[in-house]
Structure 1
């Protein structure tokens, strides 16, 4: 395997090979697992979190999986294989590049299905270097989660689940695909809770009770909060207590909480849930190389946005929108304590998913770096792309690459994608009937009127697109006249609507919150039917609208980061808490030498 080694441990290899010569229980081992020593834990807080997480899995976890559960497989950790046994039973590697993304564990599946014996002994330890940067860790988690999604669809899991006894079957589920299924269930529960509360508030169900309507969802939220904060670090505490004692484990757990380990584990939970769910729904898993180097350097905002826009940023902003509208229309939101008790899990998810790529990023809260990153992000958004342009250079190329899983998806995957996007239209439905323009009316015409406004917007965009294509290069004055006429017409229509409906300022703000998700839902559904729409003029409007949305999302995500970077003290506190002292000294020296912004030749 891709492991390090120590010379004093290598001297024990003759003893280890004797394991294959003597009987272990009733059978010789065919895969013999060894202990793993993570030696990269002192680089940064992220490296320490990954070291604690991996150590708990490759020591205590492997012991229990081997004995008494007897469901230990091979996870890319230091294992010794009986080569002759495997060569006579089809070999180790699998042929598929997509299903067998996690190629290591299929060797364990192959061994177990053919009657082999997988065990784990710890009198030898092998060195291992884990990822130390957030982007490296996220790509690794994405690869493993996508591979687990393909495992859930593979024949090997089906055969194991149908042939193992009941208790080994449950143990196998929890130690393989069940772990990622649990992650996605926690996130789905939070989503269902927040959207359910919003629909109850918009439908008036919360007003049916008395004025002292009880917060009967409080216990559910508290349980979710405990799962997100406490249980993510519990395996590391258990392992550390076995290795070094309970007091040392509790102290390390406290220090990890002060270094924002809960924020990191919640962020990782979002990564695992997103890629596992997308792979199960659409397939299309692919290998992601992480490099495994000591990459502790600043990552630009454009790079972070490319990596986390769909998996974290957009979902966090959706939760923010739901919480804001719920605050406006829910009667329970009038009580500060009840509102905090109901929504604290959602706000914690939002903070973790938006701020983690900047908190765990060197120079992530430096003002000059923030300004430079924003300039680079704007240039990336504006780039039109082309057939030979990389996703790192153009937004348009990246946007098309993000839709690759929909091109190979089944008809059921596309159908479910459309069904999930309909939640934004229901959101608009609930908002429209709470605006002043409805006057308490429940007629469906009120909802259809809101769609006429959306249709008018798309017609206007199509007119502008047609005028730009026909007049922009040959008769620019005519194009400016068409643009001015459509702008004036839209302003007159909006003014007339405001005058006739006597809409209040809060209604205008809420209407904006209601129609922004509708546009995102239209974009999501249009991506599913890309093959049919790409040859029409409507597709150009969809691309322009998607570019506008990504620009809006980037500005919103960048806003709290810019505020923290502008305030004094946060950069120094972040660097001192989250990174090694040697790295901290290097940052201080580099700030003195290269403090001024370097102008780029664009």
Structure 2
């Protein structure tokens, strides 16, 4: 009997046992960089394979390793592993292995190392490409022209194809291998039952959310590098994570991207040609599911995430965190400014290529503004450059107002709080008055105003991203404080948008009980109830 192995497994968990004589005569196992070689165990496997060695697996005792059970701890672990795979992708070790492997061994190597994370990133990029392509077709009128053709109208075969495609988009095809494996081991009735239980426990929401974690950190590492170790902990997690903690952890990786896709879907529905609701549902149902998972999964899987008192405390804590000033020695958990500065660390150490790519990627937001401006009544179907320039005049006015606010904060913010608040109020009233007069003169309606907000908000975010990439230049010209104030305004709006559904659900007491009973097992629910009792006794002892 011939035994065949592709020999592409590079480590079998901790602890790893090395052949000392083999490795010390071939350069050793130590690595020079704790950033590039974040996944040090797999790089040791790369070295062994490149130098003619082979990695074997000797199983003496099989023990189930306890992993993290909290949403935040799991996301930190996934972020760390995604960072490590990003560094592996751009490392010379993977390049050399790819050059030396034969075709079949290289395929096995791809799918057992960086291929999974690359495929996750491509999946997310496909959603972006599809929606921005739809935005271009809607704004240019191309989609309307196509759908008005006689052979396209009332095309039942097209709707049937879209219906079957939407089922595959939900990932049901990827479930088939799991169902087959469980079916062969335990029977197909058991496999079907376990699949239904997984869906009731919102496993699809969880894994869709983690897809965003993998894609974000893997893509950021490829663009800018900067992988780092993230401590996850090993405790039994039964505590409630505050809204500010979830916001700090998921703002850039999930919330920003979820809101961007949300606006894309809304614009596509508002400006798209009239079509049957079933067609729109078939095309976008998987994307709406992705948006909902990215925006609200951290709160659904958060113990006591919908308790009213917890929600009130979370809002107070988040509002205090947003208002605190940052600076040297101020932790990110205490101030939004410190956290915002920390979120830009990857841009401080990136290359010119990384900054240029960041600017190019930010330019995608300008598609909103360009398309929506020419669909407002102010344009009157005109394609004049002056109409588009008027929209940029509004953006420049906003930046000047923010510049005045930052100057007022520096001059009056510490000693003259009342003067500073009066200044902000006057500037806000003046800006609103000017915009109101402009809208009345141009004959804009409420729908136009709403569409204008949808168009200008992404544009402001693009200016913010470009400003962060050109930080040193803006500091020299004195506009960095305006960028900071613009970022603070966006963070406030984004936090309120995400927090509002949580407040609504927290009004109903049964939502919290349903969440605890449905998502967590009996032991976890009992531990959560005990923690509430102990917290109540502690509070009572303190007040007494």
- Determine whether 1:347 maps to 2:284: no
Equivalences, count:
537
- Between 226-235 and 251-260, the greater mean CA deviation after superposition: 226-235
1-side partners of 2:411 and 2:533: how far apart?
54
Q: Rate the CA distance shift 1:70–1:187 in 2: closer, same or farther, 3 A.
A: same
Cα deviation per residue 1:428-474 (whole Å; 9 max; x = unaligned)? 00010000110110111110111011112222332344455456678
User: Residues 100 and 150 of structure 1 are in contact (CA less than 8 Å); yes or no, is this contact kept in structure 2?
Assistant: yes
1-side partners of 2:161 and 2:231: how far apart?
41
Which of 447, 451, 456 aligns to 1:510? It is: 451
User: Residues 505 and 511 of structure 2 are in contact (CA less than 8 Å); yes or no, is this contact kept in structure 1?
Assistant: yes
Please report the TM-score for the alignment, with normalisation by the length of structure 1: 0.82
Q: Rate the CA distance shift 1:222–1:435 in 2: closer, same or farther, 3 A.
A: farther
User: Residues 190 and 345 of structure 1 are in contact (CA less than 8 Å); yes or no, is this contact kept in structure 2?
Assistant: no
2-side partners of 1:473 and 1:115: how far apart?
66
Q: 1:407: Cα distance to partner? A: 1.0
2-side partners of 1:479 and 1:567: how far apart?
39
User: Residues 240 and 248 of structure 1 are in contact (CA less than 8 Å); yes or no, is this contact kept in structure 2?
Assistant: yes
User: Runs of 5+ in structure 2 lacking a partner?
Assistant: none
Cα deviation per residue 1:391-435 (whole Å; 9 max; x = unaligned)? 111110000100000111111111111111111112100010000
- Determine whether 1:158 maps to 2:95: yes
Q: Rate the CA distance shift 1:390–1:232 in 2: closer, same or farther, 3 A.
A: farther
- Determine whether 1:265 maps to 2:207: yes
- Determine whether 1:421 maps to 2:362: yes
User: Residues 218 and 341 of structure 1 are in contact (CA less than 8 Å); yes or no, is this contact kept in structure 2?
Assistant: no
Q: Rate the CA distance shift 1:108–1:507 in 2: closer, same or farther, 3 A.
A: same
Q: Rate the CA distance shift 1:550–1:75 in 2: closer, same or farther, 3 A.
A: farther
3-state SS of 1:547 partner: helix
The answer for the alignment partner of 2:528 in structure 1 is 587
- Determine whether 1:389 maps to 2:330: yes
Please report the TM-score for the alignment, with normalisation by the length of structure 2: 0.91
Cα deviation per residue 1:506-525 (whole Å; 9 max; x = unaligned)? 00111011111111111100
* Structure 1 residues 131-530: aligned runs within 5 Å: 131-211=68-148, 212-213=152-153, 223=165, 226=168, 229-230=171-172, 233=175, 236-237=178-179, 239-241=181-183, 243-332=185-274, 334-467=275-408, 469-470=410-411, 486-487=427-428, 489-530=430-471
Q: 1:389: Cα distance to partner? A: 0.6
Q: 1:127: Cα distance to partner? A: 3.3
User: Residues 238 and 527 of structure 2 are in contact (CA less than 8 Å); yes or no, is this contact kept in structure 1?
Assistant: no
3-state SS of 1:534 partner: helix
User: Residues 190 and 224 of structure 1 are in contact (CA less than 8 Å); yes or no, is this contact kept in structure 2?
Assistant: no
Q: 1:494: Cα distance to partner? A: 1.9
- Between 563-572 and 393-402, the greater mean CA deviation after superposition: 563-572
- Between 572-581 and 216-225, the greater mean CA deviation after superposition: 216-225
- Determine whether 1:557 maps to 2:494: no
1-side partners of 2:306 and 2:60: how far apart?
45
3-state SS of 1:519 partner: helix
2-side partners of 1:530 and 1:281: how far apart?
18
2-side partners of 1:177 and 1:425: how far apart?
33
- Determine whether 1:544 maps to 2:481: no
Cα deviation per residue 1:507-547 (whole Å; 9 max; x = unaligned)? 01110111111111111000001122124431111111101
Q: Rate the CA distance shift 1:484–1:72 in 2: closer, same or farther, 3 A.
A: closer
1-side partners of 2:160 and 2:351: how far apart?
39
Cα deviation per residue 1:66-117 (whole Å; 9 max; x = unaligned)? x533211115356544343333333334231011111111121111112222
RMSD between aligned residues: 2.9
Q: 1:237: Cα distance to partner? A: 4.2
User: Residues 238 and 303 of structure 2 are in contact (CA less than 8 Å); yes or no, is this contact kept in structure 1?
Assistant: yes
The answer for the alignment partner of 1:576 in structure 2 is 517
2-side partners of 1:467 and 1:96: how far apart?
45
2-side partners of 1:580 and 1:488: how far apart?
53
2-side partners of 1:545 and 1:270: how far apart?
26
User: Residues 35 and 227 of structure 2 are in contact (CA less than 8 Å); yes or no, is this contact kept in structure 1?
Assistant: yes
2-side partners of 1:121 and 1:469: how far apart?
65
User: Runs of 5+ in structure 1 lacking a partner?
Assistant: 1-23, 27-66
3-state SS of 1:331 partner: coil
